[in-house]
Chain A
């Protein structure tokens, strides 16, 4: 039996350069980056991608105070996605709705905050917050969303380092096909800029970007790239089985065509281009496509000197020279690395290409690293494609987790 066809029917997002898909897309086409100076505890003035959505649009002040930033981002994105989907949410059986949210990490922000808090009381733990545990449980972002929306179906997070954004969509696809739920809210979120630990960790790894102009700091594929710009953000989608979406006359952004997830099993932090290429090939095969039929490849590249080269090696191995209609781009050059949200945001930024046939560029490439030179790499200016029928989205993470997701143009 063929698996059920799964389609995207709604998108809600907040990115450092936009709080809706329309605003985000416009800025990607206009070359508008969203990186700014940001004060990090113990470390001072650094660079980060900061979101400027209004938390009070969908939450009470008390919910914002008691909850987490990741929870707030999730609620904003989920509500925006539901509104965008046009579904009659009030009439929907809430126990048939699933929430699947990818996270790189969760709980570091809240734990650091509490340690800072008790440090002001001579580390006396009687001043430790009673909210610490509900804030730091790994399911927090999904759980806060279920509370806000009254959703009683399965709601949990998927921990998959920086591959997590894709994983939210992949897992939702699987759950819809299994019949576990009838409607899914899925994708990825990140609150990582509010933990100094992630900045300090990347700095100790010599992988934290610096640049006098914040908007030029995230520069994958450029010779002068010097590391990652850490960002917060969220991208959540509504996914449905095709028959359900059609029955209610839903707008369809695209159809989940294929995916794959694998593991390097080779290093804690260093990527493995062989496994990455395998992941991409398996996803393309599952989609029933050939590499030449993929028209946009959105890279994971984070602007680390080695990581970008290795991903390019993997892409070169799969796509080579025989894919004249395949364009390659990168979204992190605009918004930095949104960690658990990265895959979900980067896919969203490309989905409008099905309609306008424009491929957003990779910006900040003043001097292309020859080792990152790929046929079809879209540099600094958007290009008009002859056709965009399939978009492939790569997201890779530490401990060697790789995820590739392919969305194709919906054809009834």
Chain B
């Protein structure tokens, strides 16, 4: 999986958990929280959906890695690759 594909995985999840948000101009380097109305429960949703949809586990200590799309891609791409995706 490429980093761009990884970002799209995260965007697909956010589309479902934050259906009122406009994601068309999301800046990958900016914190998601600074661009969208996301609270801590929403980030738990992202973690849950990564687990459900892709079998990817994100330990609590690593939640900070999900701050932006860029950091998501940096952190998650090796996990997807290790999982053979």
Which residues of A approach B to under 8 Å, CB–CB? 60-62, 65-66, 121, 126-127, 129-131
Contact = CB atoms under 8 A, between A and B. Distances in A.
A60 B41 contact: no
B41 A121 contact: no
A66 B48 contact: no
B18 A62 contact: yes
Report whether over half of chain B's contact residues are helix, strand or loop; otherwise say mixed: helix
Contacts, number: 21
Nearest to A63: B20
A130 B17 contact: no
A67 to B, nearest CB: 12
Contacts of A131: 41
B44 interface: yes
Contact of B19 (A65, A126, A129): A65
A129 B20 CA distance: 21
Interface footprint category on B: 10 to 19
- Most B-side CB within 10 Å, residue of A62, A126, A129, A131: A62
Interface string B32-65: 0000000001001100100110000000000000
Interface string B1-29: 00000000000000001111000000000
Contacts of A65: 17, 19
B20 A60 contact: yes
Nearest to B40: A130
A130 B51 contact: no
18 contacts: A60-B20, A61-B19, A61-B20, A62-B17, A62-B18, A62-B19, A62-B20, A65-B17, A65-B19, A66-B41, A126-B51, A127-B48, A127-B51, A127-B52, A129-B48, A130-B41, A130-B44, A131-B41
